[in-house]
Amino acid sequence: MMSHSFKPFLKPINECGLALPTVLALFMVSSVMLLAGWRNITLAQGWSRHQTERWQLKQAALNALTTTADAIASSSHQTSASLASSSSASPAFPVTLSDWALLQTQLPVNGCMEGICRPLLTLGQRRSEWLNLSPQAKSAVLESGQRILSWVEVLPCNMASNHSAPLFMYRITVIALNEERHNQVGWQAVWRPVSLPLDGQAVRLADMQRMLELLP
């Protein structure tokens, strides 16, 4: 027979027995919520880093558009003789229609050489199409490690040689890649200069026509 003197101790012992599983359950729930919180933070950081990298690639691609146009404008201030004497094997942006006709003999059929292209009217606004031509692109690696691929299609727009209008228009395609993270961004613009910039004057994005971002 249990003495009445032990009865006051039974209730605290029973309460401790019920509280321990409750504490363990709360601890497990808290741990799961903490892990979920860290996971969400990690995902948010990864998404933010991805968007930052895409923004950097976009800026690199847009800068490459104007840099390429600057190179075209710079070549326009040279004479046909200086272009021909620079390297007979390497194509150059044409100054006259006869230069353009000579360029067609240097370029592969439906292709490019060192980033200078025949009119590639079958290619649209998909990066995958242009990446298939990456061996024929002009390639450069920036200090940041980004790789830039560029193609320029030279299109005659004034076959009558009217000196009051530009002889050529250009479709410039640029893809910027972060090969380590497998990120890429592509932009394309048509540039038909109303008047060629002065020697040393930079081309602006506002001077471009029909700018668009390439689809995957």
Check pLDDT > 60 for residue 6: no
What is the amino acid identity at position 174? V
DSSP string, 152-206: EEEEE--TT--TTS-SEEEEEEEEEEETTTTEEEEEEEEE--SSPPPTTPPP-GG
Give pLDDT, residue 181: 77
What mean pLDDT is reported for the chain? 79
**Using 50, 70 and 90 to split pLDDT, how confident is the model at 51?**
confident
The structure's pTM equals 0.73
Please state the domain extents for the chain.
38-213
Give pLDDT, residue 9: 45
116-166, pLDDT tens digit by residue? 999 998 888 899 999 999 999 999 998 888 999 999 999 988 665 555 667
Pick the closest to residue 191 from 61, 60, 73 (CA basis): 73
Bigger pLDDT: 139 vs 42 = 139
Give pLDDT, residue 13: 45
Q: 122-129, long-range: CB within 8 Å, 24+ apart, which pairs?
A: 125/188, 125/212, 125/214, 125/215, 126/214, 126/215, 126/216, 127/175, 127/184, 127/186, 127/214, 127/215, 127/216, 128/216
Check pLDDT > 50 for residue 10: no
DSSP lists the bridge partners of residue 139 as 149
Give pLDDT, residue 18: 56
